[in-house]
Structure 1
Amino acid sequence: MSESLHLVCPHCAAVNRIPAAKLGDAPNCGQCKQPLFTGEPLELSAANFDRHLSRNDLPVVVDFWAPWCGPCRTMAPNFHQAAIDLEPYARLVKVDTEAEQQLAARFNIRSIPTLAIFLHGREIARQSGALDLGTLKRWLQPHLYRP
């Protein structure tokens, strides 16, 4: 029997079970029928943050950022490109620390941008400061899902 992964839909937040072998086949949500991978970072709020971090079997890379932050805006295109390049082996998400101050406090975010990688709801790596695309992808590489 092949391994199955749980993936939270970026559109309706339904938890989907996908055979690992089918991960690269552009799977759709069983509930809303929309793509489970969108090729762009998903914006999370306090309302949906825990569900996406705890119910995804893929590593979830969180960009804690703010709209007024120059380095955050500089890194945003690199983070977006990484979402395109690294799906379906990681889920990249963004949290606006200005709008979601309780999440920033909960994870002790002291500087932005801060990237954190979570696996099954547990933080496994953290990096502060803006990264270029190559450095970002090298930092993420050891944490990507391997079928």
Structure 2
Amino acid sequence: MTTATADGLHVVCPHCQTTNRVRTAQLGSAPDCGQCHQPLFTGHPVALDAAAFDRHVGRGQLPVLVDFWAPWCGPCRQMAPAFEQAARTLEPQVRVAKVDTEAQPGLGARFNIRSIPTLALFVGGREIARQPGAMGGADIVRWTQQALGRAAAA
């Protein structure tokens, strides 16, 4: 589910955090950032600090799937390859991102993250779904698509 304008939709660059306007039909054709000329989609989760989180979730018009995790968390480390796999499948329709709650405790507190790993899906700047616990790659993709489908039907 993406919210598009007549000119396209806003996609935040994972490298320089510049907001780019991309035509919906061009999402799958490997668009580059107009500012830094790096790919807008890498097939890998984007590590977010608080400022980048606010840009991607608040300004970008793609749904954003966030893995709240910590480096000391065994299940988080175990789920990391599955989350990478999900990023390759979900992009470019969904921005896939990670927030290290050790390095960004304010974001964990802001979203009341009580256990990790926790997946949270944001659309239009607000959280629409949350899933605690480690999951496999196919399950992450399925959960995300189902949550987006429910949001679109609502």
Q: TM-score, normalised by structure 2?
A: 0.90
Kept in 2: contact 1:2–1:21 (CA 8 A): no
Does the CA-based 8 Å contact 2:8-2:23 persist in structure 1?
A: yes
- Equivalent residue, structure 1, for 2:25: 21
- Does structure 1 retain, via aligned residues, the 8 Å contact 2:11–2:21? yes
Deviations 1:12-62 (A, max 9, x none): 111000110111110001111110001100000113210111111110000
Is residue 7–residue 21 contact of structure 2 (8 Å, CA) maintained in 1? no
Q: Partner amino acid for 1:37?
A: F
Instruction: Note if 1:103 corresponds to 2:107.
Output: yes
| Identical-pair percentage | 63
**Does 2:83 correspond to 1:79?**
yes
| Paired residues for 1:48-127 under 5 Å | 48-127=52-131
- Is the 2:46–2:97 contact (alpha carbons within 8 Å) kept by the matching residues of 1? yes
Q: Deviations over 1:82-136 (max 9, x none)?
A: 1111110100000000111111000000000000000121001000000011211
Letter in 2 for 1:58: L
Bigger helix share: 2
What's the offset of the Cα at 1:2? 5.1
The list of structure 1 runs, each at least 4 consecutive aligned residues, that deviate by more than 6 angstroms after superposition, is none
Size of the aligned set, in residue pairs, is 145
Unaligned runs of 5+ in 1: none
SS in 2 for 1:17: strand
